[in-house]
Amino acid sequence: MEDEKIIELFFERSETAIEALSEKYGKLCLYIAGNILGQPQEAEECVNDAYLGVWNAIPPQRPQHLKSFVARIVHNLACKRYEKEQAQKRQSNYGMSLEELSETIPDIISVEDEVQTALLKKCINEFLSQQDKLNRILFIRRYWMGDSYEQLSALTGLKEGTVRTRLSRMRQKLKNDLTKKGVLS
């Protein structure tokens, strides 16, 4: 079913909207939540919560890109759950990828400092736009979707060591870029 039709179902408050959404993007949602949370049952609960979030958001919102809209909701909910579970010291691919990235972007930016957060987002987007397609894919899939090195290797056909090296070099370049732009000291 086309995204626009699914969105119309939400506007009509039809219960088939969630079924259609699940059929079209359910695997992607489970994949994102599973990589972040590391537990299939928790991922399923997170995806169900995301469907409720979409139900509550549409209407009034009318997303231009339903796939991105749903993926962002799943990602945000999974991240919140992950933070809660950190107290229990569960480790997932996502946790390991956050540790790697924290060496590049330390947790010095407060939530209240929206200007600094917006600048960081802009700088990261600019940095990624300067990378080749493969490096962008590796970066996004590792640090946003939480893919493991093994998964990235299978996806790209590169050796795991090559994937690790590319991402390590990208993190260093990003750190240098952020330092040069004054985002990091």
104 and 143: one domain? Answer: yes
The whole-angstrom separation of Cα 31 and Cα 136 is: 19
Task: Report the number of distinct structural domains present in the chain.
Answer: 2
> What is the arithmetic mean of pLDDT over 14-18?
93
39 and 14: one domain? Answer: yes
146 and 70: one domain? Answer: no
Structural Rg of the chain based on CA atoms: 18
The whole-angstrom separation of Cα 159 and Cα 175 is: 24
Say if 110 falls within a structural domain. yes
CATH of the domain at 132: 1.10.10.10
The residue with tokens 């919560």 is 49
143 and 105: one domain? Answer: yes
127 and 73: one domain? Answer: no
Per-residue pLDDT tens digits for 131-171: 999 999 999 999 888 899 999 999 999 999 999 999 999 99
* Domain final residue pick, 60, 88, 116: 88
- Over 80: is that where the pLDDT of 84 sits? no
More confidently predicted of 86 and 33: 33
- pTM for this predicted structure: 0.69
CATH of the domain at 17: 1.10.1740
172 and 115: one domain? Answer: yes
* Domain final residue pick, 88, 104, 123: 88
The whole-angstrom separation of Cα 174 and Cα 8 is: 41
82 and 103: one domain? Answer: no
110 and 49: one domain? Answer: no
| SS3 call for 150 | helix
> What average pLDDT does the chain have?
86
Q: Is the dihedral of CA 171, 172, 177, 180 positive or negative?
A: positive
For 14, the domain range is 3-88
167 and 105: one domain? Answer: yes
For residue 47, what pLDDT is reported? Answer: 96
Say if 185 falls within a structural domain. no
Residue 64: which H helix or E strand, with range? none
67 and 38: one domain? Answer: yes
- Over 70: is that where the pLDDT of 105 sits? no
Say if 44 falls within a structural domain. yes
